[in-house]
Structure formats: C-alpha cells, structure tokens
Structure 1
Amino acid sequence: MQQQHKQGHLLPPPPPPPQHNQQQQAPPQQLHTTAQGPYKCNVPGCTAAPFPTQYLLNSHANVHSSERPHYCPVRGCSRSEGGKGFKRKNEMIRHGLVHQSPGYVCPFCPDREHKYPRPDNLQRHVRVHHKDRNKDDPLLREVLAQRAEGPSRGRRRRL
C-alpha cells in the first residue's frame, strides 16, 4: 500500500521489517567492537571481555603484572612499604578500612567472637553462617550502621 505525501505525491511503501536470521553476521568493520568496547587485552590466554576505554584496558593490564606499586601507609602492616602492597590504588584504599574500622561484631554469634574490619565482611559471614537470619534484622542493621572515625568514605551524595 502506497502512502500519499502532503503535496499529493505517492511515496513508495515502507521496506519490510528485517528478518532475524541466526546466520546473519555483523559487517566486518563492526566485529571488533562489542557491547563492552573496542579495547581488547592482547596478553595470550587472557579471556577478559573488551573494554570501553583505553584507560580501563590499561588498568586491567595490572592483573598481568607482578608490580605492586601501592602500599599501606600504616607502619608495621604486612601491606606497607617492603611488604606485599597492592596492584591497584582502590584496593589499598579499601584495605585502609581494616586500620580505621570500629570492628563489626556479629550480633548472632553467642560468644561475639567474630569481628570484621568491613561491613561487607560481616554481611558475608551472616549470609554463610546464619542462613536463618534476615539481612534486614534490626540487630544486624544496628551493627552495620557504625562508622569508622575520620574523613567521610564511600560515594559522595548530593545534598
């Protein structure tokens, strides 16, 4: 069926919707890009999905390196200078919570012997060892609400 244009001219019928054929492939120029991105790790045997930016590919390269350039600033820590260190800066920052933590004690263990440096560690403990407890249990929420002393951590929130 043909459609009329405003000025009375006939327009050709719209093309039929594309048929989805399982054997259809993307044109060659699009094969190197995926939903993740065009930057692929070239290290033999690496199965990481392509990255959307060169920056993320460069960050990924750390997993193939033996370098650990980021060290915990706390003297005597096994991850401080001369110790093991970290491959990524964000890992070192997260580790810092171990030293600043108020200690998240499991409210469900009878002896209160399980103390964790980060709230996610306690949550994992509860999920594994206290399957009968709800993650929204008021006792657990109270312990998780503790905050380490010092500057604000985590995501910034808009006011």
Structure 2
Amino acid sequence: MLNRTSVDGITNPQIGGFICTYPGCTAQPFQTQYLLNSHANVHSTNRPHYCPVKGCSRSEGGKGFKRKNEMIRHGLIHDYPGYICPFCPDSEHKYPRPDNLQRHVRVRHADKDKDDPRLREVLSQRPEGPNRGRRRRGGTS
C-alpha cells in the first residue's frame, strides 16, 4: 500500500487505511472504519434497515436494505414519487428523480420499441428545480 504520510506522520495521516479482507473483494481502501463496516454489508445477506412506511415492500417483514443510506434515499419515493414507470402495472415503480426512472426503464424494459412515445418521453425527462440535478464540485463559480 502507498504510504501517504507526511514527514512527521502526523499532519497528513495515512489515507484509505481500512481494507476489506473479504476473499476476492476488489474495493478500494476506505478512509474510516465506519465506511468499511458499511461496505461489509455488501458481502452479507443481512438487510437490517427497513422502510418505516407500513405496507411498503421494503418495510419490516419485506426486503429491507443492506445500508441505511439506501433506506433513506428510498424514503423519497413516499415523499415525492414524481416519476412513475409507464410500463409497469399499477404504477408499482416510482422514482424521485428522472435518472432513476430512466435506469429502471433501460434495465427492465429493454425490449420496448425505441419509437414508443412513452419511452421517448421517459428518456427525455430532466430534473426539475433550480439546480436541475447537477452537482457542483468545489469552489465557487
């Protein structure tokens, strides 16, 4: 492992010193023990985090989530189910962002005709709001 410490070893401590030891795992080293522990869930069948909304297929007794942040992100569909798959029966797949819906359609409905107007509409949707889904990186511009 690359030693990224400063001359005194204190001012710039080693970055990414927490390594997954699961056989065959190729994940990059993690900066904290917490992140390594969170990553370890991907190697487990445990899904300890459940949606608090009763009746949801991801609530207690249902599928659940391996990571807490996935459960929190999932909660957005209950607060703002703005993008609904036009191909799924009973509007069962709802997404808070258009890119989530677009990924779902590309994976689950790859058999759809590219000229289908519903498919074209889904793939042309863009995020709403002032930032329109774009993240800004560093600095002020």
Q: d(CA) in 2 for partners of 1:105 and 1:51? A: 36
Change (3 A) 1:45 1:102: closer
TM-score where L is the length of structure 2: 0.56
Q: Relative to total residues, which structure has the larger helix share, 1 or 2?
A: 2
Gaps of 5+ in 2: 5-13, 130-134, 136-141
Change (3 A) 1:122 1:68: closer
TM-score where L is the length of structure 1: 0.50
**Larger C-alpha radius of gyration, 1 or 2?**
1
Task: Determine whether 1:60 maps to 2:33.
Answer: no
Q: d(CA) in 1 for partners of 2:76 and 2:21? A: 35
Partner of residue 103, structure 1: 82
Partner of residue 56, structure 2: 77
Count of aligned positions? 104
Q: Secondary structure of 2:38's match?
A: helix
Q: Secondary structure of 1:90's match?
A: helix
Percent identity (aligned):
61
Partner of residue 86, structure 1: 65
1:43-58 mapped onto 2 (5 Å cutoff) = 43-58=22-37
Q: Deviations over 1:18-46 (max 9, x none)?
A: xxxxxxxxxxxxx3647961211111111
Gaps of 5+ in 1: 1-30, 107-112, 147-154
